[in-house]
Amino acid sequence: MRLARRDRLPAFPQSLHHAGHAGAEAPASRSPSLAEVFDRFSKTQKYESGQTILIHGAPAERRYQVVSGTVRCCTFTEDGHRQIFRFVRTGDFFGFADFEEWHFTAEAVDEVVLRSIPYTIFEREAAADQRIAREVRRHVSDALATLERQLVMLSFLRAEERLLWFLTEQAGTCEDLVQLPMTRQDIGDHLGLSLETVSRAFSTLRRQGKIELHGSVRYRMLEPEGRALDAA
Amino acid sequence: MRLARRDRLPAFPQSLHHAGHAGAEAPASRSPSLAEVFDRFSKTQKYESGQTILIHGAPAERRYQVVSGTVRCCTFTEDGHRQIFRFVRTGDFFGFADFEEWHFTAEAVDEVVLRSIPYTIFEREAAADQRIAREVRRHVSDALATLERQLVMLSFLRAEERLLWFLTEQAGTCEDLVQLPMTRQDIGDHLGLSLETVSRAFSTLRRQGKIELHGSVRYRMLEPEGRALDAA
DNA sequence: CGCCTGGTTGAGCTGAATCAAGGGGTGTGG
DNA sequence: CCACACCCCTTGATTCAGCTCAACCAGGCG
């Protein structure tokens, strides 16, 4: 069975691709109240590439928003493997689902600026304004749905399909040139593939005309249906 | 590479295996307030084996607790594949994380009795009693953590390890004879394996003396360290 | 009794991991 | 300014775990 090869990619109600993604791209319009709370109470902090932001098991005392850069949320297995659950990008929030301890580790992929607030303030604001509580709940619910999509992806997609799924999610709907801040190893640890397989999948997709590669970090999605992107 | 590369802390807090599992085995002691709300307001309903309880995309209007039997929570891909996220067992709750629509389908594995309450009542009770709100949040947080563990399992474990992980989780800590209500296909769809591989893994584990099989539905975990189970 | 569903087992195939070698860009030291 | 080193990426060869296909078996039921 495995997969009947459709170009379409499987699953989920409205395709596998980005369904919610919380207050991602446009926090100002998507989650006004949440962003407002950050505007008023947050403290800003900067991290160098590779630096640890928060660590699995430590008390979960703050909530975060990415101002710029990319964060990876991951865990490490006993034998040194790493699973990256999510890349958090500019505008995205993280750390809202955790209860008493962090159940993941967050690290800076490139140079990252974050703003954060103590969860106690959040509790207070959420109790005062029902909209904020709803916003948070929706955010957590989206995180769950995203994780479920990733799980389905790991179960049913093969290497090139996984990469295509990832690249599509990174690019969103637009067909602009996208820059990847993370390494092949990072992508592999996200998609459940070895770095070599990721590299091979990049080459295959390029050869198949599904993506356009500029060096190893910049790419553009190409429409599968001859329907071009620029030339009339 | 791949492994090694990390001098820092290993792995999951207490290994991969069961960490939270929400208000599972002992709802009375584990989540008194949550169970209380069910005691007071719930409606009980019965489902035959294979019957659909709730369907992906429908409005999420109720919250559920399993009184008896086993429920599978899953999604279906376009090409007919099924991913089972979770088997919900007696005493467990489900349906708390979803926002406006169900983002999964729930079906009865065997004969199932459920009790459920409208989410509006829950909202009201949670607003009135902070303990209930906390209970729900912890529950959702646990669901997220469980999903993350499953994801890691899918990424790194091989067939027999996956099955062992599953059987251990089903059995809990005790070494009693456990009965499996679900088919090999169900287990495969949960672990990301074909039913044949699941069957083979059962045989292998039995041959390795890690489990004891009675027919195809009953089993007992055996301690790996000669430390026997019954005989003094 | 035969059918049907679910489980087991075997044979062969294949996709991705692993092992291994080589390439390009950037930073550093001679 | 060039040389070397290091990191990341690419590509090739080989191996192997699990999927697929297929046959067979056991129990339940009409």
Q: Which residues interact with strand C by a CB < 7 Å criterion?
A: A 158-160, 192-194, 196-197; B 2, 183-185, 195-196, 198-200, 202-203, 213, 216-217
Interface A:B, Cβ pairs < 8 A: 137
Over 60: is that where the pLDDT of B27 sits?
A: no
User: Which residue did the predictor score with more confidence, B16 or A76?
Assistant: A76
d(CA B181, CA A203): 45
Which residue shows structure tokens 């890691």? Answer: B152
List residue ranges whose Cβ is under 7 angstroms from nucleic strand D.
Answer: A 1-2, 183-185, 195-196, 198-200, 202-203, 213, 216-217; B 158-160, 192-194, 196-197
On the question of pLDDT at B88 being above 90, the answer is yes
Specify the pLDDT at position A203: 97
Q: Is B98 on the interface with A (CB under 8 A)?
A: yes
Determine phi and psi for A199, rounding to 5 degrees: -60, -45
pLDDT digits over A78-127, tens only? 888 999 999 999 999 999 999 899 999 999 999 999 999 999 998 899 88
CB contact under 8 A, A140 and B143: no
In this predicted structure, the answer to whether residue B188 has a pLDDT above a threshold of 80 is: yes
> Cα B52 to the chain's mean position, in Å?
17
What stretches of B64-194 show up as alpha helix (H) in DSSP? 119-128, 130-156, 159-171, 184-191
Report the pLDDT value the prediction gives residue A130, as an integer from 0 to 100.
Answer: 84
Q: Collapse the DSSP code of A224 into the 3-class scheme (helix H, G, I; strand E, B; otherwise coil) and give the result.
A: coil
| Confidence at residue B99, expressed as pLDDT on a 0 to 100 scale | 85
Tell whether the model's pLDDT for residue A6 goes beyond 90. no
The reported pTM is 0.85
Given this model, what pLDDT does residue B225 score? 56
Task: Tell me the mean pLDDT in the region B40-50.
Answer: 95
**Which pLDDT does position B223 carry in this prediction?**
75
pLDDT at A230 over 90: no
Q: Which nucleotide is nearest to B185 (CA to C1')?
A: C6
pLDDT tens per residue across span A199-213 = 999 999 999 999 999
Average of per-residue pLDDT across B173-188? 91
Q: Check B152 against A195: CB less than 8 A apart.
A: no
B55 has a chain A CB within 8 A of its CB? no
